[in-house]
């Protein structure tokens, strides 16, 4: 049996589906008040608990052979956030402690490409170090710090492997990720404002395949970047338009104007409690170096991501199907 933390997230629920399809038994560690919709209808054992509760973590590991640790908080807001660090770092420490004491056979930790030091030029690969002093955001620093904890545990004998996905898109996006919302809004032909930056995105199903390959073939103490294809936001929107065969208003916002406006958006999100989408951090990502290599994962894990046209098309159809189903119930 495999334990999956963060099982209701975008990557997590797709990973659970893939493990079940391969005949594996899965236990999902879920927060007490967390929606179980992403796992609805799946033959998975669900146990309530929090990675910050060490006793709950020990109990969740009872009888499992391996752990996929995905639980964490993503934040694109500026400034420090103690909750982000507690969950991402202290929660990971709890998982590592319990895994070592329970003598778990394999642990695969889902880090992030943002845990790796920013480099302005050249190709980003596994030779670029993790940066726990990253100035761009609490999320980046917390993921880097947690990753270094995993690698330290591996040096101490735990069979642990790290994977670093880039921007994740694709179907089964129940919570509505930032890019998922961009795709959904365009698919529903609503007016769209965009900044024509670019980044590397990868299909969520390919990330799930990469995680399983890391569990099967990944070396102890090694990291593997799971990247996909570098695309612009404009390409994404035009692809959605082509797939839906529809037309919708879209307007490109000049980058300097977007940067000026972004200084005020954190205040808006904190005041309204709306989900942050457009912040100085997200703009920084879209203009950062996104020439990212997955050559090591391809060479050692057999990782081969699909073309993103398929990913965008499947995401569009999934969002529209869910929208149709919701409307039909009204």
* pLDDT of res. 269: 74
Confidence grade of residue 288 (pLDDT, cut at 50, 70, 90): confident
Confidence grade of residue 77 (pLDDT, cut at 50, 70, 90): low
Q: What is the mean pLDDT of the chain?
A: 89
Candidate from 69-73, 147-151, 215-219, 249-253 with smallest mean pLDDT: 249-253
Confidence grade of residue 325 (pLDDT, cut at 50, 70, 90): very low
How open is the CA angle 210-212-215, to the nearest 5 degrees? 110
Confidence grade of residue 330 (pLDDT, cut at 50, 70, 90): very low
Each residue's pLDDT tens digit, 169-205: 999 999 888 888 888 888 877 777 777 788 999 999 9
pLDDT at residue 329 above 60?
Answer: no
One CATH from 3.40.50.720, 3.40.630.30, 3.30.70.980, 3.40.50.880 for 2-170+200-229+290-306: 3.40.50.720
- 196 exposed, middle or buried (CB, 10 Å; 0-12, 13-18, 19+)? middle
- Structure tokens, 222: 């090694």
* pLDDT of res. 254: 73
* pLDDT of res. 222: 98
pLDDT at residue 75 above 90?
Answer: no
Instruction: Kindly state the average pLDDT of the residues 203-224.
Output: 98
- Structure tokens, 264: 């005020």
Instruction: Kindly state the average pLDDT of the residues 255-266.
Output: 74
Percent of the chain with pLDDT over 70: 92
211: left (phi over 0), alpha (psi -120 to 50) or beta: alpha
Instruction: Kindly state the average pLDDT of the residues 254-262.
Output: 74
Most confident of 106-115, 128-137, 238-247, 321-330: 106-115
Percent of the chain with pLDDT over 90: 64
CA–CA dist 12, 172 (Å, integer) = 10
| Per-domain residue ranges of the chain | 2-170+200-229+290-306
pLDDT at residue 290 above 80?
Answer: yes
Global pTM value: 0.91
Confidence grade of residue 80 (pLDDT, cut at 50, 70, 90): low
pLDDT at residue 76 above 70?
Answer: no
CA–CA dist 326, 316 (Å, integer) = 15
Confidence grade of residue 248 (pLDDT, cut at 50, 70, 90): low
Each residue's pLDDT tens digit, 105-161: 999 999 999 999 988 889 999 999 999 887 778 889 999 999 999 999 999 999 999
* pLDDT of res. 78: 61
* pLDDT of res. 40: 95
* pLDDT of res. 241: 87
């Amino acid at each position: 049996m495999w334990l999956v933390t963060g099982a209701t997230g975008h990557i997590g629920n797709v990973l659970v589906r893939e493990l079940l399809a391969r005949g594996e038994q899965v236990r999902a560690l879920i927060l007490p008040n967390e929606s179980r919709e992403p796992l609805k209808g799946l033959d998975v054992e669900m146990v309530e608990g929090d990675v910050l509760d060490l006793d709950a973590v020990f109990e969740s590991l009872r009888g499992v052979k391996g752990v996929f640790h995905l639980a964490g908080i993503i934040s694109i807001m500026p400034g420090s956030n103690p909750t982000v660090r507690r969950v991402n770092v202290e929660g990971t420490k709890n998982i590592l402690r319990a895994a070592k004491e329970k003598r778990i056979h394999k642990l695969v930790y889902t880090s992030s490409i943002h845990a790796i030091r920013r480099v302005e030029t050249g190709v980003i690969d596994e030779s670029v170090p993790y940066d726990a002093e990253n100035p761009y955001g609490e999320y980046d620093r917390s993921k880097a710090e947690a990753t270094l904890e995993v690698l330290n545990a591996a040096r101490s004998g735990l069979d642990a492997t790290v994977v670093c996905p880039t921007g994740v898109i694709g179907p089964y996006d129940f919570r509505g990720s930032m890019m998922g919302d961009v795709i959904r809004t365009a698919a529903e032909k609503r007016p769209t404002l965009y900044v024509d930056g670019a980044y590397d995105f990868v299909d969520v199903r390919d990330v799930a395949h990469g995680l399983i390959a890391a569990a099967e073939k990944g070396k102890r103490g090694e990291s593997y970047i799971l990247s996909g294809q570098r695309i612009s936001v404009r390409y994404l929107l035009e692809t959605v338009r082509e797939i839906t065969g529809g037309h919708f208003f879209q307007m490109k916002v000049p980058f300097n104007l977007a940067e000026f406006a972004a200084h005020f958006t954190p205040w808006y999100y904190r005041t309204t409690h709306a989900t942050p989408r457009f912040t100085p951090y997200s703009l920084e990502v879209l203009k950062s170096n996104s020439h990212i290599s997955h050559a090591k994962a391809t060479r050692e894990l057999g990782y081969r991501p699909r073309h993103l046209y398929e990913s965008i098309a499947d995401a569009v159809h999934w969002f529209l199907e869910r929208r149709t189903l919701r409307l039909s119930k009204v």
